[in-house]
A and B are shown apart, each in its own frame.
Chain A
Amino acid sequence: MKDEVTSTEERRENLKGMGCARKRVEDVRFTQGKGNYVDDIKMDGMLFGDFVRSPYAHARVTSINKEAALAIPGVVAVLTAEDLAPLGLHWMPTLAGDKQMVLADGKVLFQGQEVAFVVANDRYAASDGVEAVEVDYEDLPVVTDPFKALEPDAPVLREDLEGQTEGAHGPRKHHNHIFTWEQGDEAATEQVMSTADVVAEEMVYYHRTHPNPLETCGCVASMDKVTGKLTLYGTFQAPHAIRTIVSLISSIPEHKIRVVSPDIGGGFGNKVGAYSGYVCSVVASIVTGKPVKWVEDKMDNLMSTAFARDYWMKGKIAATKEGKITGLHCHVIGDHGGFDACADPTKFPAGFFNICTGSYDIPTAYLSVDGVYTNKAPGGVAYRCSFRVTEAAYFIERMIEVLAIKLDMDSAELRRINFIKKEQFPYQSALGWEYDSGDYHTAWDKALEAVDYKALRAEQAQRIEDFKAGKTRKLMGVGLSFFTEIVGAGPVKNCDILGLGMFDSCEIRIHPTGSAIARLGTISQGQGHATAFAQIIASEIGIPADDITLEEGDTDTAPYGLGTYGSRSMPVAGAATAMASRKIKAKAQMIAAYLLEVHDDDVEFDVDRFAVKGNPERFKTMKEIAFAAYNQAIPGVEPGLEAVSYYDPPNMTYPFGAYICVMELDVDTGEHEIRKFYALDDCGTRVNPMIIEGQVHGGATEGYAIAMGQEIAYDEMGNHKTATLMDFFVPTAMETPTYQTDFTVTPSPHHPIGAKGVGESPNVGSVPAFSNAVHDAFRAFGLVQSHMPHDHWRVWRIADELGLHG
């Protein structure tokens, strides 16, 4: 047999298991236009829904007249809040413990808010119907600034909450206040600040932006009136959670609901929450008895479904004069828009922002976050990051730079002095987390050496001389970033969403001929799950990854799980996959021992087989074992070879990395050029290096966009100014920098295969690297802090305010 002459190494390679840069199995269909996205779904008699949206940011809705719309040929129905109220569906719960209007109930709170839902035979008639619905508005004073929203005489935005002094997360201090969230020791931190050698203080704003998946949000709801079963196809990052939530709010029993997430064209946090379109499509399908499709267009997406960030972070950082950090104080004003529709674990209204002590051993810290309502779109989702971790990383990496300026120190050295040391792990942070593992100094040294940091500083010093001498109009910035993420939510003891515990799951069935199917509670949005998870099974069980089908996203077949966001798939479902594999392996061992007529303990696993200890020529391959599992009567062993595992992680995982950006800036035009971008990631065990590299490229490109131009902007009237891709910056291949990737490997001690997750690290880590490069270029001329995005005019403004335009 071929097996017998194949070396161990060849057998291992044949599996394409963990560590293999296996090509993505999904890409065959994606690159040929053969994916199956929500908008590809076509059903007999399917109707189309579209929204009438508010042109005002804050207004009373005095009347809605449907008549002209209903008279348009093809228009079937027009739903308003009045129609949904008898069903109790004119409002819906948000994931953050607030509630949100499904359709405008007497008033609107942001431009683009859903006012009426027009259902028609085709998209064109629906669009004509939207134009024909007559809505009368009475405009109200608009508040787009969260600080003004908290002034005593600010207009009341949420009249439905008037008089409610207790919110979902404790007391409300003001009629536009949502919650206060505190962590750490305030008194001790104040004490540190008052006695410190040096205290640096700065306001750091992380502007509002948007995840902007290329595929927008959408769904097809289909109620089968005969069986009473609702099937809901949609762009859901958490299909099982959606099923439970739909059941809870609609009173349809959960077994009569099937939620399917087909191929998803990017999520980045935008597709975690529940949207009006889903509720309206379900209601419309129930009312009409026909399938109803709703798909946003790009403007709808940028204006109404979940934005990200918008955090005003006031920081104070204390240190000795030698640069040892002694304390950190942070107060955040979070602008949540008209409704609090963040998608955070319920007990964490500001997500995991309390990771804001970063990668540093800061003994004393205090954090408080105030959530505020404004006349902007709701959201505050984790745009390719674990909950509010990007904001936290940006905050601390800016504060380090601000402190370095105050101390007149090199910020690379300041970081080195303050890193948590390798031997301090597991490390208990002052704001309540237990970091699982890390080796920051090794990563930092490797990064600085890779870019030849000293040479860069020498070149920069020369450039400054040349600039001052009038020989050049370009400055050079070296942007440093060292980040620690907290991902893999999370332990059910403290992580849930609307009461749903944040475990995840994997079910594996080995077929009699030795191939397999695995199903997970997560859902890929482009991450390559079908490729990577099969590699874990391949290594754990010893069947080739190419022989494993992986399915996700159909709640009728996949085991229950909380979905994919917050880099949780590998830390949680990846662990479940390894654990389910091990259950199968344990049974396979018993079967192998029986077949080889030895005791269970006398066989050992060897890549793709169990062999008799000390006698490797006597073995049974996994293929043989699988066949026997189904077709041979084995005393005391049930037929079949399958397992399911639900994994409740004991802790989060803490990936980290060192990113360095070298940037050229034209002080006259504000233009930039990214000369170098180096990204070192430590995500623990690396399952597929090629997918990791792809994730780093993608996330860093998003980070580049956010730092250098991407924003959701409103004018004072609450008009949305960036609702198209003309003004909402998405880099093309021409703008995208070239990336140099690198890695270290510090496995997670508590994860079955030591993996930590990587998808979001590059967004978290790159934004401070880009932004710090801009700041660094102007440091010699006195710049301390300038808010993102660093688009041409804002960079020009920095130079102008520093007097560099003569």
Chain B
Amino acid sequence: MIPAAFEYHRPADLASALSILNTHGDEARVVAGGHSLIPMMKLRMTEIGHLVDLQDIASLRGIEVTSDSVVIGAMTTQHELITSDALATALPIIREAALLIADPQVRYMGTLGGNVANGDPGNDMPGLMQCLDARFTVEGADGPREIKARAYYESAYFTAREEEEILTKVTIPLPAAGHGFAYEKQKRKVGDYATAACGVIVSGDGASVAMTNLADTPIWSEQAGTALAAGDVDGAVAAALAAIDPQEDMRGPIAFKRHVAGVVIRRAMERALTRAKG
């Protein structure tokens, strides 16, 4: 559990970080909270020549709530997401989901950007960001560009972000006032990834349903959202289940995961509907 030797960089601004990435190409990787990358390095599954630590870049932190959106810096920690009252008022589903991620120690270190950037199918925030139709801003030598969360994930650990780009912020359009929401997650114990998880938003404008760890990418199901918006929970669950592709692991075989997914999705939908009415 000791990584191979690497150079450690700790730039103070984004330009310096991008410059290091440009200089070292695919030998360099950025690290945010480190909860995905560091274990991979310790297991020597990933060897990295240059580790670029983003924690000193102040411009990558912070939560900004405006009248129609929320902008969250990539280096904002899960703990900061949980403790922001402004965020909890505007987008309460984020606190609900973040509280289901790992444990307090991990949440002090783990960041939103790190959670969404590298395409780990076990992470909760990618599915939630798809549910919320968030946009990721990535910045490279050619300047920033936006990628929709729903278009970001290609397969496990493969994303639309280029190697030399840094994910800098997440922009989330605010759902309609009085929207219903729920993030449901079944896991084996505190700290585990989801056996099945589902995020749901319902409002007068429609509904959105996305799922975590039930395929090699997060799954957003447009059909499930359409059915749910029409009040057809059974149809919505069926559509969501048709979209997933769970794999067997120590959490259980595929048939079990499909069954649990059905329960978790339904619970999320029913809870979101209840809240929307309330």
Residues of A with Cβ closer than 8 Å to B?
A: 123-124, 127-128, 131, 297-299, 668-671, 709, 713, 721-722, 726-727, 729, 731-732, 734-735, 791-793, 796-797, 800, 805
Contact = CB atoms under 8 A, between A and B. Distances in A.
A646 to B, nearest CB: 43
A731 B189 contact: yes
Contact of B256 (A131, A727, A796): A796
B250 A713 contact: yes
A722 B190 CA distance: 17
19 contacts: A124-B2, A127-B2, A128-B5, A131-B44, A668-B263, A669-B260, A669-B263, A669-B264, A670-B256, A671-B186, A709-B189, A726-B191, A727-B250, A734-B189, A791-B188, A792-B252, A793-B251, A793-B256, A796-B252
Interface of B: 1-2, 4-5, 44, 103, 186, 188-193, 195, 250-253, 255-256, 259-260, 263-264
B259 A735 contact: no
Given A131-B4, A735-B190, A805-B259, A722 B250 contact: yes
A208 to B, nearest CB: 14
Interface centre among A128, A726, A793 (most CB of B within 10 A): A793
Contacts of A671: 186
Nearest to A671: B186
Nearest to A297: B1
Nearest to B251: A793
Contacts of A128: 4-5
Contacts of A726: 191-193
Secondary structure of the A side of the interface?
loop
A40 B38 CA distance: 24
A725 B195 CA distance: 16
Contacts of B259: 668, 796, 800, 805
A726 B191 CA distance: 8
Contacts of A299: 1
Given A668-B263, A734-B190, A792 B1 contact: no
A247 to B, nearest CB: 33
B189 A668 contact: no
Nearest to A713: B250
B190 to A, nearest CB: 4
Contact of A792 (B103, B191, B195): B195
Nearest to B42: A297
B250 A792 contact: no
Nearest to A725: B191
A805 B258 CA distance: 13
A669 to B, nearest CB: 5
Given A299-B1, A732-B103, A792-B186, 20 more contacts: A124-B5, A128-B5, A668-B263, A669-B186, A669-B260, A669-B264, A670-B260, A721-B250, A726-B191, A726-B192, A729-B189, A732-B189, A732-B191, A735-B190, A791-B188, A792-B188, A792-B195, A793-B253, A796-B259, A796-B260
Contacts of A670: 252, 256, 260
A586 to B, nearest CB: 55
Contacts of A668: 259-260, 263
B212 to A, nearest CB: 16
B191 to A, nearest CB: 7
Contacts of B188: 709, 729, 791-792
Given A669-B263, A671-B186, A732-B103, A797 B256 contact: yes
A735 B252 contact: no
A719 to B, nearest CB: 12
A735 B189 contact: yes
B256 to A, nearest CB: 4
Contacts of A713: 250
Contacts of A729: 188-189
A770 to B, nearest CB: 15
Contacts of B190: 732, 734-735
A800 B192 CA distance: 24
Contacts of B251: 792-793
B5 to A, nearest CB: 7
Q: Which 5 A-B pairs have the closest CB atoms?
A: A793-B252, A127-B2, A793-B256, A297-B1, A727-B250
Contacts of B260: 668-670, 792, 796
A669 B188 CA distance: 11
Nearest to B39: A724
B122 to A, nearest CB: 10
A298 B1 contact: yes
A791 B189 CA distance: 11
A717 to B, nearest CB: 15
Nearest to A50: B2
B58 to A, nearest CB: 32
Contacts of A796: 252, 256, 259-260
Nearest to B263: A668
A309 B193 CA distance: 28
A669 B191 CA distance: 18
A123 B1 CA distance: 10
A797 B255 CA distance: 9
A128 B2 CA distance: 8
Contacts of B252: 670, 791-793, 796
A693 B195 CA distance: 35
A793 B253 CA distance: 8
A324 to B, nearest CB: 42
Contacts of B250: 713, 721-722, 727
Contacts of B5: 124, 128
A805 to B, nearest CB: 7
Nearest to B189: A735
Contacts of A792: 186, 188, 195, 251-252, 256, 260
A670 B259 CA distance: 10
Contacts of B4: 128, 131
B225 to A, nearest CB: 24
Interface centre among A298, A722, A735, A792 (most CB of B within 10 A): A792
A60 B178 CA distance: 67
B88 to A, nearest CB: 22
A447 B251 CA distance: 35
Nearest to B47: A131
A10 to B, nearest CB: 46
A611 to B, nearest CB: 58
Interface centre among B2, B251, B264 (most CB of A within 10 A): B2
A472 to B, nearest CB: 14
Nearest to A734: B190
A299 B250 CA distance: 16
A550 B230 CA distance: 74
B215 to A, nearest CB: 18
A732 B103 CA distance: 10
A732 B189 CA distance: 8
Contacts of B264: 669
Contacts of B189: 709, 729, 731-732, 734-735
A735 B191 CA distance: 11
Interface centre among A298, A726, A729, A797 (most CB of B within 10 A): A726
